[in-house]
Structure 1
Amino acid sequence: MELFDSLNDLHKVDATTHRQLAGSELFYRSLFEHHPDVVFHLDLDGNLIEANGSFYKVLGYEAEEVQGDFRSLLPPDQVEWGNACFDKARQGESLNYHLVARHKDGHPLEFLVTNIPNVVHGTVVGVYGIAKDITENKYLRESYKSLFTHLKDAGFILDLNGHIIDVNEAGMTVGGYAKEELLDKSFIPLIVEEEREKVFGSFQRVLGGETMTIDCSLFHKGGHVIVLNITAVPINISGRVVGVIGIAKDITEQKLIERVLQESKQRYESLFMHHPDGVAYFDTQGCFVDCNPALERIIGHSKQ
């Protein structure tokens, strides 16, 4: 009787284990099939054993069109790299890497790939792969990079410590510095001393999430001072500020003209106010606009 009970208990355990394994297999099968990224399984020779729906959707193939070696999906310049990464995975190493594959119509797709060795009883029997299509992200990065590079105004990027991590051609031209003279250097020494505290305060506010526009005087490599109108915005990635990007317009000549006009205005006002003779100013319609103190004394009335 005890033996019968033991066998019966063992049967129950086996049945429970079987159900658990079946449920686990269904879970992983569902995860494999419905994963939004490309998922695939290769044998040790690199032949495709199976792939999920995203694999065919992203690459543009029908299931019957993809057979044999995964390397056939790679452009020639990617085969050696793809093979090297696959070799590491079939030797038991998990790794992440970038890889370019070809869509069915021929255009390249860039993926961030994770390879995971399929290990059974301590032996690698295949390789699983999960590939995230980052082609659009790369296109946007390249577009922004092109825009930054070809801006007519000076462009720069700062890290959280205020070190210059990139500058465009216009930025090098306006300051007279070569890129290697600026990269990894703090921007602070470039600012004239009397404005450094103001400019650094604005930098801190941008790191806090604000967009700032300020006029800033800095030293040209040639030794003279130039004036830039700078708009700086935070670089926000996943809700976290990781740096600052700025666009700077050279307004040195504009500021010089403004100063000359201001000085001229001051000289005129001084001459107008202190001239010993009475002077009055009328608009084009003949209406009185202003007069100097001498005229007020002469006529005995205030201009008010």
Structure 2
Amino acid sequence: MFGILGLGVAVATIEFYRKFYAVAEEAAYAGSDSCKDEEDSFFVRIMKKELEYTKEQLESFINHHMDAVIITDLEGRILRVNEAYEKVYGWKAHEVVGKTYYEIAGAFSEDVHENIKKTVAEKEAINRVEVVRARKDGSLVDLRITISPIFNGKDELIGLSGVCVDISEAKKARKELDLLHRKLKESELKYRTLFEYANDAIYLLEIGSNHFPSRFIEVNEAGCKRFGYTREELLSMPCQDIIPRDSDIVRKTVEEIRQGNLSFTLQSQFTFKSGEVKKLEYSGKLFNIENKKVLLIVSRDRTEYLETEELLQKSEKLAAVGQLATAIAHEIRNPLTAIKGFMQLLTEKASKEELTYMNIISSEIERIEMITDEFMSVAKPQAVTFQSIDLQLLIQQVILLLQPQATMKNIFIELHSYGELPLVYCESNQMKQVFINILKNAIEAMPSGGEIKVELRQKDNNHLHIQIIDEGVGISKDRIKHLGEPFYSIKEDGIGLGLMICFNIIQQHKGTLSIESEVNKGTNVEICLPLK
């Protein structure tokens, strides 16, 4: 099949043979008899056959070309079009042949034709120019046009040939493809933004044949911060170097995968390389990418939420305790007042032997009053007066008060002060209650006797630290976290309000109270109070 330039060469060849044949035939008839011999006639017949053969080839090329073909002279007059032209433009051959470009609606203007002619005169084809043209019915069609020059045997420009390719469908498909690419890019940008800037940690993990995560495929910024590595470090390290296989989080995840669960939500606790322990809730989705099993993990830090929930539960318990305490204290105080009044009358008339019992009853009544006061302080905190207190002196008074009880159990309470201690801004009665409760707990925790150390030191310019260390039976770790909750006590006859009141008082003083203990080795209670 001829190319575009082949079309121009073929037309030029026909033109050359046609003119040569005309000259030869004219010479044959106008010349001498020697020009009409058989040899000359044979030569003319051969050239005529060659011309006819070339003409047939050109006709076949033009007629059967799948794209629209148009041939014009130098004036822009259309000499020939093929069937494909009729289909593309809607014009029939007899409607356009003999007319110029600019006489047909939607074709080139005269100025454009002149510019084209100048360009191709320099033997330069106009290649693959995309244009929009009007059909006979006025509709528009997208075309890719190539225009080539036609030269005769003397290398003279005698015409133009054009091939028009209908690219409407291709252009439409290209627009749709561009639109699809743009949408895909926008969608990718949206998901990438959601992925990168999500508050939750997101991980994409490759799952090995043993169902264990083998490596990180992708991770967002929140996930990098949580583990304390850069993205490049996480993607280059084996998964087991970051999350140990024996960790609770891996064990639960592998168990879900082995059970065939494609999606799951779990809760676990994990210790990060910084030493920070977080309670996590994570959702997993298992799927395949390029014949590889992949796990998408979205992990959320639930530590603060669970702590808040725990505080809320404690608050609800405390509210219930307050209501209960108010009711109990009110019901007890009324009859207690009457009992005290009658006891005073009986004491005045009692014998010496009866007086002994009366004193015991009176002390127990006072103890009941003290308990009801504690109930009332839980239900309705009393107005307090803060002032600068010598905490060392206050603790000495508490030790003096409790030393007889300690001595009976073979316990010695020792006070150590380190350096010159400043005054502490606090409410003396409340702080005295705190130290009484804690020291009484220490004494009761040492049935075999021993030593209780009370140490005071100023660790910085703003806080005073008090440590109360005993050698008692200790407390297990699973029970320490519940200390301070209402109605929770490790003593058989305890009601769980003593420590709760201590925690509340220290909290009101903007301080902290922490408890460390080990079974059979003792307990260390540390109180930190601000100086101002």
Q: Scaled by the length of structure 1, what TM-score is found?
A: 0.48
More helix, by proportion? 2
Of structures 1 and 2, the larger Rg is shown by: 2
* Greater relative contact order structure (CA < 8 Å, 6+ sep): 1
Write 1 or 2 for the structure with the bigger share of strand.
1
